[in-house]
Amino acid sequence: MAATGLFLLAVVAFLHYAQAILLPVVLALLFYFLFKPVVLALNAIKIPRALGAVLVIAVVLGAVFSALSSLQEPATRFLEQAPDGFRRMVEKAGELTRWLEQFNDKPTVTDPVGDIPKTPTPSLLSRFNLAGTLLSSTTLINTASFLTGFLETIVLLFFLLAAGDRFLETLVGALPGQSDKDEAVAIVNDVQRNISRYLLTVTVINSCVGIIVAIAMLWLGMPNPVLWGVVAGVFNFMPYFGPLTVFTVLVMAGLLSFPPGVGQALPSGFYLCLHAVESNLITPAILGRRLTLNPLIIFLALMFWTWLWGISGALLSVPLLMVFKILCNHTRPLAPVGEFLSG
C-alpha cells in the first residue's frame, strides 16, 4: 500500500510538472476523436486524409478566429462596464442587509459628534486597468506559453488526423502477446467510439444552448445577444463552475442593461431554467447510462484537474474521467470502479 501511494503521488507530480508536454497531447487526442468522423467522411468521397485534415483544421480555425474578432468589441465593452456592475451588486446587497437589520432588536448606536464624512476608498475594481493587465510581463509570458501549446496541439492534431490509425496500429503491434493486442485494440476502439460520441453529442447540445440563449437575450432586449450565446455555449463544457460563471455574468449584465425592477433578473432566471432542463433531462436522456457519470465523481474530478491544470483541466475533466471509466470497464480488477463511476 505504501508503494502504491508513493506511485500515485509520483504520477500526480509528473502530471503537474509535465503539463506543457501532456496538455497539447491530450487536447490533440480529444480533437482527433471529435474530427476523425469528418475526415473519414471526406476520405469516402476520394479526398486524401492529409488534405481532409488540412481542410477540417482550416475551417475550424477560421470559424474560431472569425468569432473571436466579431466578439472582441462587445466583450471589451462589457469588461469595461464590469466594475460598475459589481458596484451595483454591492449596493443591492447593502440594501438587503439594511432591510434585514430592521428585524434586529439591538439598539442602534448614535454618534453624538455627528456624522463625519468619510473619504471613499477606491476599490480594486475601480483601479482595474485592462490594458495594463494585458501588457504585464506575467501575462505576456502566459500568452507565449499559450501560443506555443496551441501550435503544438495543431501540429499533433494534423498528424493524428492524417495518419492516426497507422500510429495506433504500430503501437498495438509492439505489444508481446496476441491476447494483449486484442485487448488493446478493443480498448482503443471503445475509447474512440465512446469519446467521439460523447464529444459530438455535448458539442451539439452546447451549441443548441448557445443558440437558445442568444435568441432569448435578443427577445429580452439584451445588448450583444450573440456574445451571451457564445459565452453560454462555451462555458457549458465546464461542469458546475461554467454554468455558475455564466449565471453570475448574466446577473451583472441584467443590472447593467435594464432599469431597476423584475427585468434585471430575467436573463439570469431564463438561463437558470434552461440549464436545469438541459443538465437534468436532455443530456442524460441523449447520452444514456453508458456515458453517464456519477455527479459527485464529476465534481471531484473537476476539483482535481482544475487544481492540476487550471482552466484547461476543468474543460478536460469529464473526457479524461470517461476515458478512465472505459479503461476500468476493460480491466477486470477495476470493473467495480467503473460501475462506481457510473453512479
* pLDDT 10s digits, 257-302: 777 777 778 888 999 999 999 888 888 888 766 667 778 888 888 8
Residue 124 in this model has a pLDDT that exceeds 50: no
Give residue 95's pLDDT band: very low, low, confident or very high (50, 70, 90): low
pLDDT at 186 over 80: no
Q: Quickly state the pLDDT bin for 118 (edges 50, 70, 90).
A: very low
Structure confidence at residue 127 as a pLDDT band (50, 70, 90): very low
Q: What is the biggest distance separating any 2 CA atoms in the chain, rounded to whole angstroms?
A: 91
pLDDT tens track for 79-94: 666 666 666 666 666 6
Instruction: Tell me which amino acid residue 22 is.
Output: L
Contact, 216 vs 232, CB < 8 A?
A: no
Residue 338 has pLDDT above 60, yes or no: yes
Whether residue 76 is predicted with pLDDT greater than 90 in this model: the reply is: no
**Which has more confidence, 214 or 77?**
214
The predicted structure's pLDDT at residue 96: 57
- Joined together, the cell numbers standing for residue 312 give 484547461
184 pLDDT exceeds 80?
A: no
Kindly report, residue by residue over 22-38, the tens digit of the pLDDT.
Answer: 999 899 888 888 888 88
Q: Report the pLDDT averaged over residues 59-85.
A: 76
The cell numbers describing 213, all together, are: 440563449
CB 154 within 8 A of CB 57: yes
Query: How high is the pLDDT of residue 249?
Result: 86
Average of per-residue pLDDT across 215-232: 88
* Residues 6 or more apart in contact with residue 84 via CB below 8 angstroms: 256
Task: Calculate the average pLDDT of the chain.
Answer: 78
